[in-house]
Amino acid sequence: MMALMRRTKVQEADFLVVGSGIAGVRAAIELARAGRVLVLSKGELYESSTEYAQGGIAAALGEDDEVSLHLHDTLQAGDGLCREEAVRILVEEGPRLIHELIEWGMKFDRNGTKLAFTREGAHSRSRVLHAHGDSTGREILRALMAKAKSLRAIQLQPYAFAVDLLMEGERVAGVEYLDEKTGALNQVRARAVLLATGGMGQVYKETTNPSVATGDGVAIAGRAGAMLSDLEFVQFHPTALYVKGAPRFLLSEALRGEGGQLRNIDLERFMPRYHEAAELAPRDVVSRAIVMEMQRNQTEFVYLDLTGLDPEHVKRRFPRIYSTCLEYNLDITADLMPVRPAAHYAMGGVATDLRGATDLAGLYAAGEVAATGVHGANRLASNSLLAMAEGETSAAAAPPEKSQTPTAVPSLGGEASPVELEKTLTTVRDVMWEKVGIIRKGKELSEAVNRLQSLAVPLPATPSRQYYELINILEVARAIARSALAREESRGAHYRTDFPLKADAKPPRHSFLSRDTGVQFSVEIPRRAGSSAAGARDR
């Protein structure tokens, strides 16, 4: 019989936010008006995808811009799958949110006294604001953290890895988490739990995402029975720096917005052959074009060429990218930069309504972990920071819950070493990159589903973040592969050579997947068997 390990701590809060990126901190600020908020971060407080966001944040604030144009561009990029009501809220609220960030201390770059804008792919206007050239996410998080720390109702707790949701019947009542400093499994009880855990790029071998982006929120929501949606739509950023032995450092789309060009191994500019907007085509188009050029020329990369631009302007506009590339002996003003696509952003996630509510009572989601329908099948560049900055949910209306006494949980008692866990992780990532990547086909997707299903996570002697992250990565990988196999069409970031056209269904349907169902397609979020109207919300 396995020994028992007792939980050492039970905390209580009115609202629990899991994740300390822009979505989580912005939501915490909103929720602080209604009660005590605890924010859990599985690593350091500033370690999130927000920290690495370079390009900027899109809002219709320019003199030649309109909200209606931002709406049109977002819907176009989403390839028919955007939920128009969600997009309308995003673009209409955008200008107000920018001014709110400025009031809280956000310092956007300016031309004199006016805000400075740049253009990115699939935008019809220059509407992307930026900070410190290419450190927009870092500056937004700095301003939000300063605001959050000024509010006494908010408590920030680092090194707390959310393992699973706590349930009381059909209602989410808190979270069990691993205290990485002590190794203990603790609990937080709350009226409502908001997931803001970010993305899932670490499911893939090649990714621009930081190491913390392991799909935790999607996995724990899925295990609790929440409905997941549109997981097959994974955006691959076209230009990640490709230097062997180095991380896949993101080379912002704004580099192409400023005039950078893509060239193949023969130094031929190729994007005009694939799309009329050339380098500023939607990201899915650019990524596929790069892959096709790599395949045609049997190379591992293409080049991003900035040598035709003013060197001093490039250094001022992209100081972080410039200095990082110098570490790899590459000068972006003088050298051709080797690049290739890498997994970047998840359009799908935990299905929510327009206020962040999932179909599980007491559970909410915001930011990249949430599938609101705002991004459709292909996110418009720099709309993600804006979507996360909204961060408003209906969690504040959640009723108080009765406390529950924690129970002892079994220790793991296995023998797997960190090396064995890493070996399994490598297998998952390789399968996803090779068979569920940028260009897909049914035979390979079916092979991926079978291979991932056959994998098991080896059991270590004691619980660890590495172990729990691997469980989450494997579960999310299975869900992505199953969803991609089920969607027999090509749309946005999901491209299948055996189904190269869009399906005839009008309007286009979202995919939905839960613990208790296979993949199903619907315009609305499917209702649970026997559920009430309050228990399952329409999309």
pLDDT at 42 over 50: yes
pLDDT digits (tens, 9 = 90+) for 313-339: 999 999 989 999 999 999 999 999 999
The answer on 196 and 61 residing in a single domain is yes
**Is 1 within a domain?**
no
pLDDT (tens digit, 9 = 90+) per residue, 283-297?
Answer: 889 999 999 999 999
Amino acid at position 445, single letter: L
Of 75-79, 162-166, 405-409, give the lowest mean pLDDT range: 405-409
What's the pLDDT at 380? 86
**241 CB-near residues (< 8 Å, 6+ apart):** 248, 249, 250, 251, 325, 328, 330, 337, 338, 339
- Is the same domain home to 117 and 174? yes
Cβ count within 10 A of residue 23:
34
Shared domain for 322 and 382, answered yes or no, is: no
Statement to judge: residues 281 and 225 lie in one domain: no
Residue 245 pLDDT grade (very low, low, confident, very high; cuts 50, 70, 90) = confident
Question: Residue 49 and residue 491: Cα distance in Å, rounded?
Answer: 26
Q: Is residue 521 part of a domain?
A: no
Same domain, 255 and 376: no
What is the percent of the chain where pLDDT is above 70? 89
End position of a domain, from candidates 311, 326, 343:
343
- In this structure, the chain runs to a length of 539
Q: What confidence score (pLDDT) does residue 529 get?
A: 56
> Coil, strand or helix: which one is 319?
helix
For 426, other C-beta atoms within 10 Å of its C-beta total 11
> Are 216 and 249 part of one and the same domain?
no
- Identify whether 405 is part of a domain: no
Residue 22 is assigned to a structural domain of this protein: yes
| Domain span including residue 178 | 9-233+347-397
Q: Which residues pair with 17 in a beta bridge?
A: 39, 194
Quick check: is 515 catalytic? Answer: no
**Is pLDDT at 461 greater than 90 in this prediction?**
no
228-229 and 510-513 beta bridge pairing: antiparallel
Q: How many domains does the chain have?
A: 3
pLDDT class of 394 with cuts at 50, 70, 90: low
Backbone angles phi, psi at 154, to 5 degrees: -105, 130
- Per annotation, catalytic residue among 191, 283, 288, 317: 283
Question: What is the DSSP secondary-structure string of 132-166?
Answer: TTT-HHHHHHHHHHHHHHT-TTEEEE-SEEEEEEE
**Cβ contact 490:504 at 8 Å:** no
Q: Which residue did the predictor score with more confidence, 526 or 153?
A: 153
Examine the domain organization and report whether 25 and 151 are in the same domain: yes
Q: Which of 119, 90, 79 is nearest to 235 (CA)?
A: 79
From CA 488, how far away is CA 209, in angstroms rounded? 28
Minimum mean pLDDT range among 182-191, 241-250, 391-400, 424-433 = 391-400
Cα distance from N-terminal residue to C-terminal residue, the chain: 46
Q: Which of 397, 429, 463 is the endpoint of a domain?
A: 397
Q: 28 and 116: one domain?
A: yes
Instruction: Identify the band that residue 409 occupies on the pLDDT scale cut at 50, 70 and 90.
Output: very low
- Indicate the residue among 343, 368, 385 that finishes a domain: 343
217: domain CATH number is 3.50.50.60
- The model's pTM is 0.91
For 219-259, the three-class secondary structure string (H helix, E strand, C coil) is: HHHHHHCCCEECCCCEEEEEEEECCCCCCCCECCCHHHHCC
Tell me, what CATH number does 452's domain have? 1.20.58.100
CA-based R_g, the chain, Å: 22
- Residues 495-502: what's their mean pLDDT? 96
Range 288-296, long-range pairs (CB < 8 A, 24+ positions): 288/438, 288/439, 288/495, 289/262, 290/238, 290/262, 290/339, 290/340, 290/341, 291/341, 291/438, 291/439, 293/264, 294/340, 296/264
Tell whether 188 and 47 lie within a shared domain: yes
Q: Which residue has the higher pLDDT, 527 or 336?
A: 336
Q: Evaluate whether 15 touches 31 at the Cβ level (below 8 Å).
A: yes
Same domain, 309 and 353: no
- In terms of domains, do 78 and 218 share one? yes
DSSP 8-state secondary structure symbol assigned to residue 496: B
The answer on 168 and 20 residing in a single domain is yes
pLDDT at 513 over 90: yes
505 vs 195, which has greater pLDDT? 195
Mean residue pLDDT of the chain comes to 89
CATH number of the domain within which 291 lies: 3.90.700.10
* Position 530 pLDDT exceeds 50: no
Confidence of residue 47 (pLDDT cuts 50, 70, 90): low
Has residue 536 been placed in a domain?
no
Q: Is 486 helix (H, G, I), strand (E, B) or coil?
A: helix
Is residue 511 domain-resident? no
Does residue 108 sit within a domain? yes
- Domain assignment present for 229: yes
